[in-house]
Amino acid sequence: MQEKWQTLLVREALIDAVRLFFKSNSFHEVETPLLVECADPEPSIEPFSTSLIQASDSYRGYLTTSPEFSMKKLLARGSGNIFQICKSFRNAEPVSSRHNPEFTILEWYRVNANYKDIMADCENLFRFIAGYLEERELFVPIKCDLQSSWERISVSEAFQKYAGIDETTLHDQEKFKFRAVEKGYQVESQTTFQEVFDQILVNEIEPELGKSTPSILYDYLAPQAALAKKKSSDPRYAERFEFYINGIELGNAFSELTDSKEQLARFEAQNKVRHSEGRPEMKIDMDLVNSLDNLNQELGGIAVGVDRLVMLFSGIEDIRETLAFSARDVFSLDE
Amino acid sequence: MATIKAGSIRKGMYILFKNAPYLVTKTDFLSPGKGSALMRVKLKSVISSGTTDFSFKSNETVEEVDVSSMQMQYLYLDGDELVFMNSSTFEQLSVPIDLVGEQHKLLIEEQQIYVLMYDEKPIGVRLPDKMKLKVALAEDADGGNTVGQARKTVELETGLKILAPLFVRTGDTLIIDVATMSYISRG
């Protein structure tokens, strides 16, 4: 208990630091619903479903996998810069050293900003948290240098540098899979490009990231855009970044897509994937789609895993040790 | 050999990786960014005892290998090899210390131990969770004004030194936790 309590004290102070940082940078803190009717149709994420009972009627509902949709609706209604710290829920992912089905997420959005402004926010936030914890003698020295400017490396540079895969191959799915086979990876007819991409990223690139300074891996391939805007100077890429410290991915950011037509098309495409996999399609959040039309400025946003931040700043390698009670404590799960 | 999905790899299994057998010492599920499910495993080579990390796609196929075990008598330590004998055929074989680790210091001569075999070669030993060892030397010590659990160093019959409570005497039998190589109780 002694060690766990110490980690819970780091968690408490870290969340205080995050609030202080954003409030002193003129962000408003918001609270949005965790129980919603329209879940994110993103096929790689499975929400927890439940129902809302009203007299004799029952309505299908979901726990949010991120507060993104509601926060964007507030932005479209003119909130200005906002942040939120809340619980998010993702089902069907095996509980592991980096995943708990219920987790704490930090999201922030900046108006008249893009992903480069969010990169700067990340650097400033991390230095602020480190200083705040240090003052309270809670800071565990991190191998990574947070004070120097963070490394910025694009996805195509990283594949060239660490996996020896050039940009032409990266954009040619057949050539890319062939290169993977040469490297000794198992590629079958049903293996997708994304699976091979992720496997090479995890095996060959991630271990090299965030070693001496944190690393920002930016400009993902356009099909990996999720809710990010395509790069106007080179539409083969999307303005998305993830950042890494000690090989662990801590956050995912976008220059947010604000084009309602494209957003609707992406949701429909995601529902098609769900349908082809025999999973239920999600009701599309038309309030979100229509709200985007009112967003006339550029918008930068990010989601950061707070439990992983606690891991980082307490020098812990298992997410369960950062939680008062993990899913393994509250469910009788098989090993 | 049996083919399994990487998603069902579990700690303690032996699998074929790059055509060589490895013991799985840790597994972890990953879902990087958008889409794929990966299974990260920590592997220990049964040939060189080197370790490596690799992430498989959860749905790719992996060969699980059969590792058999054979009960043998531990004879003695020869340099950096442990020598065992098959009690019925009197055949002897050597297992490099590296494959057993620090726990080799718990082996008592003439003790019956399971030796793990792959491809007719020894690749390690299977030790019980707890082992009984005699104390070869325990000096008398009094706790003085120590509060709590006072400990002293005692030497076991194999030469291994561990910390034990003050009441332990030469000739006592102790129950030792094999994983941590530490005192559990008097046996």
The contacts of residue A25 (CB under 8 Å, 6+ apart) are A81
| Residue ranges in chain B modelled with pLDDT below 50 | none
Domain map (residue ranges) of chain A: 2-150+213-330
CA distance A151 to A244: 10
Domain map (residue ranges) of chain B: 2-64, 68-126, 130-186
Helix (H) or strand (E) holding B45: strand B38-45
Write down the pLDDT at residue A260: 96
Write down the pLDDT at residue A202: 93
Write down the pLDDT at residue B49: 64
The contacts of residue B173 (CB under 8 Å, 6+ apart) are B132, B133, B134, B135, B186, B187
CA distance B161 to chain A (A): 29
3-state secondary structure of A117: helix
Write down the pLDDT at residue A21: 98
Write down the pLDDT at residue B143: 58
Write down the pLDDT at residue A333: 85
Q: Using CB atoms, which residue from B18, B31, B33 is nearest to A242?
A: B33
Size of interface A-B (CB pairs under 8 A): 62
CA distance B40 to chain A (A): 9
User: Per CATH, the architecture of B68-126 is what?
Assistant: Beta Barrel (2.40)
3-state secondary structure of B10: coil
Q: Nearest residue on chain B to A319, judged by CA atoms?
A: B28
Q: Nearest residue on chain B to A334, judged by CA atoms?
A: B10
How far out from the chain centre does Cα A197 lie? 18
Cβ distance A107 to A67 under 8 Å?
yes
CATH class for the region spanning B2-64? mainly beta
- Measured CB to CB, residues of chain A less than 8 Å from chain B are 42-44, 93-99, 184, 186, 188, 191-192, 194-195, 198-199, 201-203, 206-207, 220, 224, 226, 242, 249, 252
Interface test with B, best of A95, A197, A199 (most B CBs within 10 A): A199
Cα Rg of chain B, angstroms: 21
Write down the pLDDT at residue A109: 98
CA distance B184 to B175: 6
Do B130-186 and B68-126 fall under one CATH topology? yes
Q: What is the DSSP letter of B167?
A: T
Q: Which residues in chain B are contacts of A186 at CB distance < 8 A?
A: 56-57, 60-61
Burial A88-125 (b: 16+ CB within 10 A, else e): bbbeebbbbbbbbbbbbbbbbbbbebbbbebbebbbeb
Write down the pLDDT at residue A226: 81
Q: What is the DSSP letter of A256?
A: B
Q: Which residues in chain A are contacts of B28 at CB distance < 8 A?
A: 96-98
Q: Which residues in chain A are contacts of B9 at CB distance < 8 A?
A: none
Write down the pLDDT at residue A167: 97
Q: What percent of chain A has pLDDT over 70?
A: 99
CA distance B60 to chain A (A): 7
Q: Which tokens sit at A224? A: 């990996």
Write down the pLDDT at residue A335: 63
Cβ distance B23 to B42 under 8 Å?
no
Q: Using CB atoms, which residue from A93, A207, A226 is nearest to B34?
A: A226
Q: Do A199 and B18 touch (CB under 8 A)?
A: no
Interface test with B, best of A40, A181, A202 (most B CBs within 10 A): A202
| End-to-end alpha carbon distance in chain A | 22
Cβ distance A171 to A222 under 8 Å?
no
CA dihedral for A323, A324, A329, A331, sign (positive or negative): negative
Residue range A2-150+213-330, CATH number: 3.30.930.10
Write down the pLDDT at residue B120: 85
Q: Do B28 and A186 touch (CB under 8 A)?
A: no
Helices within chain A (DSSP H only): 2-24, 68-76, 115-135, 155-163, 167-170, 173-182, 193-200, 260-276, 286-292, 306-314, 327-330
| Residue ranges in chain A modelled with pLDDT below 70 | 1, 335
Q: Do B28 and A93 touch (CB under 8 A)?
A: no
CA distance A44 to chain B (A): 5
CA distance A203 to chain B (A): 6
Output the average pLDDT for chain A. 94
3-state secondary structure of A4: helix
Q: Using CB atoms, which residue from A94, A199, A207 is nearest to B36?
A: A199
Write down the pLDDT at residue B34: 55
Write down the pLDDT at residue A97: 87
Q: Which residues in chain A are contacts of B53 at CB distance < 8 A?
A: 207
Write down the pLDDT at residue B128: 85
Superfamily of domain B130-186: Nucleic acid-binding proteins (2.40.50.140)
CA dihedral for B76, B82, B87, B93, sign (positive or negative): negative
Among A66, A72, A8, smallest CA distance to A34 is for A66
CA distance B126 to chain A (A): 22
User: For A21-35, what is each residue's pLDDT tens digit?
Assistant: 999 999 999 999 999
pTM of the predicted model, to two decimals? 0.80
The contacts of residue B136 (CB under 8 Å, 6+ apart) are B155, B156, B157, B159, B170
User: For B139-169, what is each residue's pLDDT tens digit?
Assistant: 887 655 555 568 899 999 999 999 999 999 9
Q: Which residues in chain A are contacts of B57 at CB distance < 8 A?
A: 186, 191, 195, 199
User: For B51-71, what is each residue's pLDDT tens digit?
Assistant: 899 999 998 999 999 888 899
